[in-house]
A and B are shown apart, each in its own frame.
Chain A
């Protein structure tokens, strides 16, 4: 009996003494941390994606508290409401930026381009791009090994097994830009999200001359410049045999979509065009485009 009592007493007293020491030490060496850092960190998504340019969410929170204004500080993964909440905590005003989304600018699916060779190296776009260009004959197009999928911290981009191309989940994408950075061919671009997620973009980055580009892929931009002429808002530029739609200037009129002979301009999330029966000649070229729009809506 005495053994047990002694053991309990000795251990109890040791524990008490050590506890007191710990308490004293923790009081003595307490690090004063701004409570706001903790509050902001809690608001942030916690994915440490690095889209803001800081090593992680906590570092970003600390930077927010330290900074004199919110200029240049933006969590790319947060919605604007969250940014406003953060601004309320720090006491600075925040600019409401335009929401963006990652857009894959390649439509070189298995149906659209020949597969001239097989690639059996390491499953990585970076390796494929360095070695010999993977399975595509296009020197600019998607390599299909999914480096962007691996880079995404929000599970917002996936490979479509049918097309072999990455598809962005528009609800989950936070436009942190990790996928765009991971892509060795710079296919992925952050573009304005627009109303109802409607977007018009050239789904091709091939800078080859027309015939070469056409040989590599059925839906490659051949740099014919028809879209440039068709655009009433001067939003489209042609450089290095490649058309580019400036998303700041584009008003989503979709005139270029019908004009493109290669069907390389994509219009997503638009309702299907109404078929006008009186003008069969005009309607015919528009028809395949309408179908493409529909199929894109499903993506």
Chain B
């Protein structure tokens, strides 16, 4: 079985919810939509206080080329446009909508019936995806319409579907594959049409044999789509790692893109959203969220309307245990701690993870013993100890020279460090600063 070559770690999978069917969560009383749920410019609200909206009504327009529109997931009245503390811990502007009933936009096809044939042209599909506000559902939230228009000088030959889900605990993609395989395959065909190619590879880690089996049987009659089981290793779901695992090609350091090696990678959740947008005319306002953790009474996979407060998900899963030390949005490796449970579910919320107090606290930091475990673990071939020290000393030049911008923030270094050094914290800081310096330099040019 294939996998990527450099680095990687093997965290405990802890897929507690792998056999739990997707359940639909009830509507919230008030839904909150932060305006920056994606990478790039925040969206600009196109509704005002007091406006009535329906499910699927666009409430914010893209704020630039690299941006995405936001749609209401509920029907009701816009209560206010104010700020809210989102998963990043910072205060961001958001639209608050008081829920009244559940009235959908009439243009959305709500039937369960599969739509097999896509009659739209390439441009129409891209426009459709853009209008539906679709972003990468794996967590990075990169606007999908941008990703589907690779630079002209690159020839794309392979579409890779990221169904790896290498983060421990999370099973949202796994369940989606088991319950909606046909939709996913139609979605892949749509993307192949957009890219004008005929080869797609679905990369799935070997710990999901049922999904591999199902997708293999469904794709056996379809030419061009291949299901590739991959060896289990974190962070295989990283775009560059997956490309290497599937095709053996290595993406050069930034600013090179996956398109430079002829690949486009899409998350399986994104593919499903594309199917719904193109075939059912349904914008992105729902997603599957795994609510999990060893202390959770009823771990589950939920279909949640965006904007629902995390507290409602926790309530459904049996409430928040008293000994909870950390509430994380996403998985244990790359997720971000939530400051309070009123934060809303956004496009990138793949899971909500509760960690008991005894496991949550980081242990005391010691000096670096130069064991180079972090170097061994880094899937990008970087030297995390060096980058962290450079960051600690505010030596941004050194950090840049040592390819800090290649870091994918997977957290392998920090999880292997025997001295429990907060390597990733420092690397994130340096990445943030160096990114700013590079942007300023480019702006000067």
**A interface, CB within 8 angstroms of B:** 116-117, 120-124, 126-127, 130-133, 139
Partner of A127, one of B336, B365, B429: B429
Q: Are A127 and B425 in contact (CB under 8 A)?
A: yes
Interface membership of B432, Cβ < 8 A = yes
Name the 8 nearest CB pairs between A and B, nearest first: A132-B89, A122-B425, A122-B422, A120-B362, A121-B425, A127-B425, A127-B429, A133-B89
Majority SS of interface residues in chain A? loop
Please list 15 pairs of residues, one from A and one from B, whose beta carbons are closer than 8 Å in the complex, sorted by A's number.
Answer: A116-B339, A121-B362, A121-B422, A122-B422, A122-B426, A122-B429, A123-B365, A124-B392, A124-B426, A127-B422, A127-B425, A132-B88, A132-B337, A133-B89, A133-B339
Q: Are A132 and B429 in contact (CB under 8 A)?
A: no
Interface membership of chain B positions 63-100, coded 1 if the CB is closer than 8 angstroms to chain A and 0 otherwise: 00000000000000000000000001111000000000
Complex contacts, B365 vs chain A, CB 8 Å: 123
Complex contacts, B361 vs chain A, CB 8 Å: 120
Q: Are A124 and B339 in contact (CB under 8 A)?
A: no
Partner of A126, one of B336, B340, B429: B429
Partner of A131, one of B91, B340, B392, B425: B425
Give bound CA distance, A117 to B426, whole Å.
21
Q: Are A130 and B91 in contact (CB under 8 A)?
A: no
Partner of B339, one of A120, A130, A132: A132
**B interface, CB within 8 angstroms of A:** 88-91, 336-337, 339-340, 361-362, 365, 392, 422, 425-426, 428-429, 432
Complex contacts, A117 vs chain B, CB 8 Å: 339
Q: Are B428 and A130 in contact (CB under 8 A)?
A: yes
Complex contacts, B89 vs chain A, CB 8 Å: 131-133
- Nearest neighbor of A151 in chain B, beta-carbon distance: B394
Closest chain-A Cβ to B199's Cβ sits at a distance in Å of: 41
Complex contacts, A121 vs chain B, CB 8 Å: 362, 422, 425
Q: Are A139 and B422 in contact (CB under 8 A)?
A: no
Give bound CA distance, A199 to B142, whole Å.
51
- Nearest neighbor of B361 in chain A, beta-carbon distance: A120
**Most B CB atoms within 10 A — which of A122, A123, A139?**
A122
Complex contacts, B339 vs chain A, CB 8 Å: 116-117, 132-133
Give bound CA distance, A130 to B429, whole Å.
7
Give bound CA distance, A124 to B365, whole Å.
13
Complex contacts, B340 vs chain A, CB 8 Å: 116
Give bound CA distance, A133 to B85, whole Å.
11
Given contact pairs A121-B425, A123-B365, A127-B426, enumerate 13 new A-B contacts (beta carbons under 8 Å): A116-B340, A121-B422, A122-B422, A122-B425, A124-B425, A124-B429, A127-B429, A130-B428, A131-B428, A132-B88, A132-B89, A132-B337, A133-B90
Complex contacts, B429 vs chain A, CB 8 Å: 122, 124, 126-127, 130
Give bound CA distance, A120 to B361, whole Å.
7
- Nearest neighbor of A118 in chain B, beta-carbon distance: B361
Complex contacts, A131 vs chain B, CB 8 Å: 89, 425, 428
Closest chain-A Cβ to B113's Cβ sits at a distance in Å of: 44
Closest chain-B Cβ to A55's Cβ sits at a distance in Å of: 14
Give bound CA distance, A133 to B91, whole Å.
10
Give bound CA distance, A117 to B360, whole Å.
13
Give bound CA distance, A156 to B428, whole Å.
30
Q: Are B336 and A132 in contact (CB under 8 A)?
A: yes
Give bound CA distance, A218 to B337, whole Å.
26
Q: Are B428 and A127 in contact (CB under 8 A)?
A: yes
Complex contacts, B337 vs chain A, CB 8 Å: 132
- Nearest neighbor of A126 in chain B, beta-carbon distance: B429
Q: Are A130 and B422 in contact (CB under 8 A)?
A: no
Give bound CA distance, A116 to B341, whole Å.
13
Closest chain-B Cβ to A113's Cβ sits at a distance in Å of: 15
Closest chain-A Cβ to B428's Cβ sits at a distance in Å of: 7
Closest chain-B Cβ to A10's Cβ sits at a distance in Å of: 46
Closest chain-B Cβ to A206's Cβ sits at a distance in Å of: 13
Complex contacts, B432 vs chain A, CB 8 Å: 130
Complex contacts, A132 vs chain B, CB 8 Å: 88-90, 336-337, 339
Complex contacts, A123 vs chain B, CB 8 Å: 365
Give bound CA distance, A124 to B424, whole Å.
13
Closest chain-A Cβ to B228's Cβ sits at a distance in Å of: 36
Give bound CA distance, A51 to B340, whole Å.
41
- Nearest neighbor of A139 in chain B, beta-carbon distance: B91
Complex contacts, A130 vs chain B, CB 8 Å: 428-429, 432
Closest chain-A Cβ to B394's Cβ sits at a distance in Å of: 8
